[in-house]
Structures are given as structure tokens and as C-alpha cells.
Amino acid sequence: MGKNHIQEKGAMYLCRMIWKKQTKGEIKERIFNALDANRNYDSDYILGIPGTYLDTAQFHRDAHFLEDAPFLRTFINNPNHIGCHTLTGDEGEDMFRGTQKIEVELIRLISEEIFKAEAKSVDGYVAPGGTEANIQALWIYRNYFKAEYGAKLNEIAVLFSEDSHYSFYKGANLLSINAISVSVDEHKRSISEDDLKTKLAEAKAKGIKYLIGIANMSTTMFGSVDDVDFLADAFEEYNLPYKIHVDGAFGGFIYPFTNPDSKLHFANPRINSITVDAHKMLMAPYGTGVFLIRKGWMHYAATTEAKYVQGLDYTMVGSRSGAQAISIWMILMTHGPQGWANTMLKLIQETDKLCEALDQLGIEYFRNPHLNIVSMNAKQVPAGIPEKYRLVSNDFEGEPRWWKIVVMQHTLGKVVDTFISDMRAALA
């Protein structure tokens, strides 16, 4: 498919979005109005909350620049967004409902505009990062299989490709469930059909009865994308009850804009939850992962013992800064859908340029054409290059087989051009 056709389809996809770009003034007014709607520590009588605004000796509340810095103002005011506000609404903590409403709006924007969910059909929250958001999914599905099927822990497994993020090993360990890694083709980075069937047969033989399947929307090392229907068909062939979670921690804010034919969204009934990370492609502060799941599932993670929390708590993290949700909302409102798509397209064009140079140099690499990650055969990369450009190895403990490049906003132009020039000189 030609690039022009892809851009045309992408334009049609963007036309369906109703999220609107806003001016700096409009964004500032909305955030400051939300802060005014919160109960603030310095203007209300608040005696029962074990929290306050940030330390005034370090964070000066009367600094002049704060009048034009809505994120920093929110950060200093320190609103606590404990709980899941798409679920509880006005039943949740009433202290910070002004900024909580912006988080609810944000979850709806991401799930409905970017991931094609039906209106108000998804719950979610802003998590400290993609790792926790992924583990939140495992936690919910483990509890679901226990509650609805009477499953024992040793009967539940999370299955993922060998290129998947380490958070799934971490989550399986924390939740005392099984972790099943499936091998991938060395060059295509796609899940091996033979190994998948072998692992499923072995799992059934060992007493695994329930599966949590992981579909990657860009793996961390390679930018590879999993075929969700391929996974689901295999689970159904082996008659194993399953739920599928999409790890879009890296790809969530780029892949839907660069691949209009993506199947990794809520319009696909086989997908039940999605993780995205705003502190990667969206350029938000660290601590801005997002967890999204269809309505009717968050209650499997309810901590009913948290009776002193209005609306209870449904998250792993508990208390969390409302400023993180504000930062994501501000970025999306600043760019609008077309502006953000153009930003991502520039990264794709720069990655195309890099790959064309690698082709000319005869360097073997893997790259998904809709993503900005390029992993090169380590044996073909000259000595000194990885250290100078801080490339990432697939294995820092042993001998690397791949060196990874991620084309980001700070690498556009000069950095990529200099890298290409240095590669040519070293290989010459």
C-alpha cells in the first residue's frame, strides 16, 4: 500500500474524531476553573485528609510564573485522584472533583477517539506507568477467573511473545500465576505458530485452564505488533477461556495515527483492555501511564476494605497525583488530532530516511513501517557507534544481537543525520 493511500485513510480516520484543539488561554482557563472547583488546602477548612499542598519552603505558591503554568499550579496544589473516577463518578472522593472530571474526560477521549470505543463504555485511570497498568490488567483477569470459574492460581497463565515487556513476568510473579513466553521469528519478529501451539498443548497438559493473552502494539525492543486475531483463534482452537490485553505502552499514541488499518482497538470485540504510556510518545512527564478496560470489569479489583475512601479504590497505586492526568489532557488539547497526527508522521518520515540509509549501507534491521523503532543487527554496527549514540542492546548482560534506535522529537534532523554520516565513515 502506497504512502499516499495510507495518508488518505488516515485523514478519513481523523475526520471521525471530535476532540478539538484548544488555545493556551482556553486550556489555562479550563484547568484553573477545575482547580477552583476542587477543595484547596489553603482556602478550605480541611482537617481529615492526611495530605496538604507541596512544601512551601521548596515549592513557592506565589511565584509569578505559576499564573501561566496550569500544570505546575496543579502539581503544587497536589490534588489526590485516588480511585477510578469513570466508575464512581460523583460517588468518589469529593475533595478534588474539579480535576477528577478532567481525568474522566481524558479517559473518554483516549478510549473513544483514539481506540474507537462506544461512548461511556470504558473505565480507566492514569497510572504511574505502563508497568503498573499492565499488572492491573493481570490482577483483574486473575480475580475474574477465580470469581467466575473457581480457578486456582496454578490453573491461570499469562501468555505473551518473547519480545514482550518484562512487566508480564513481574505481574505473574506478584500474582502467583504462570508466565508462558512464546518464541518469535528471528527476522519478522512475529509469534511462531508452531511454538504457540506447542506451548498451548503443554499448558493444557500441565493443568492450565485459563489464559490472559497479551497482544503488543509495539514491543519495546523491536516495535513489532502482534496479530490479535491469530492469538484469539489459537486460544479458541484449544478451548481455553481467555481475555486479551493490549500492551500499547509504546505504540498507543503513535500506531493508531500512522496505521489506520490497526485492529488493536475497542471496536474489536476480542480486545478487553489496553495500556498506553503518555511519557513515551506523548512527551508527558514520567508517571503518566493509562489503563483502559471495558465497563463491568473494574470491580474485580475493588479493595472493599478501603471503606474510608469515598467510592473505594480499584487501583494498585492508591493515591496518585491529579497533575499527571492534567498534563496528558493539556498535550492532547494543545495539538488536536490533526496536529498530533502530523507530529507522528514527521517521526515516521525521519525513520524512513534512516532506514533508506541503512539499506544503502547493507545493514540488516527490523522495523515496523508504522513505527519509529529500528533494531539493527549488532554484528554489522561498527565499534564505538553504540556508545556514542547511547543505543540500546537487547541484552546488556551478554553479547548483544541487536542495537536499537528510537527516532524521537529530539533526534529529528541533526542527530539522525550525524548518525548516518558516522555509520558511513566507519563502514568505509
Q: List, for residues 41-66, the tens digit of each pLDDT value.
A: 877 778 777 888 888 888 888 888 88
pLDDT for the residue numbered 397 = 80
**How far is 220 from 368, CA to CA, in rounded Å?**
12
In 10 A of CB 22, how many CB atoms? 18
C-alpha cell at 326: 492534567
Beta strands in 217-319 (DSSP E): 242-248, 271-277, 289-294
pLDDT above 70 (res 98):
yes
**How far is 139 from 211, CA to CA, in rounded Å?**
13
Q: Which of 133, 102, 118, 36 is nearest to 331 (CA)?
A: 102
Answer with the residue of higher pLDDT: 326 or 5.
326
Q: What is the DSSP letter of 112?
A: I
Q: Quote the mean pLDDT of the chain.
A: 92
Least confident of 162-166, 246-250, 308-312, 410-414: 308-312
User: Rounded mean pLDDT of 388-397?
Assistant: 91
**Sequence spans of domains, the chain:** 337-427
pLDDT above 90 (res 274):
yes
Q: Which of 169, 158, 183, 80 is nearest to 131 (CA)?
A: 169
pLDDT for the residue numbered 39 = 86
Confirm if 280 and 103 have CB atoms less than 8 A apart. Answer: no
pLDDT above 60 (res 91):
no
What superfamily would CATH give domain 337-427? Aspartate Aminotransferase, domain 1 (3.90.1150.10)
In 10 A of CB 422, how many CB atoms? 15
Q: Sign of torsion, CA 211 137 219 21?
A: positive
**How far is 213 from 218, CA to CA, in rounded Å?**
15
* Residue 307 pLDDT class (50, 70, 90 cuts): low
**H helices of 310-395, where?**
322-361, 385-388
C-alpha cell at 91: 460517588
Sole residue written with cell 505473574 = 172
Give 167-178 as a DSSP string.
HHHHHHHHHT-E
Indicate whether this model's pTM tops 0.95. Answer: no
Question: What percent of the chain lies above the pLDDT cut of 90?
Answer: 78
In 10 A of CB 90, how many CB atoms? 11
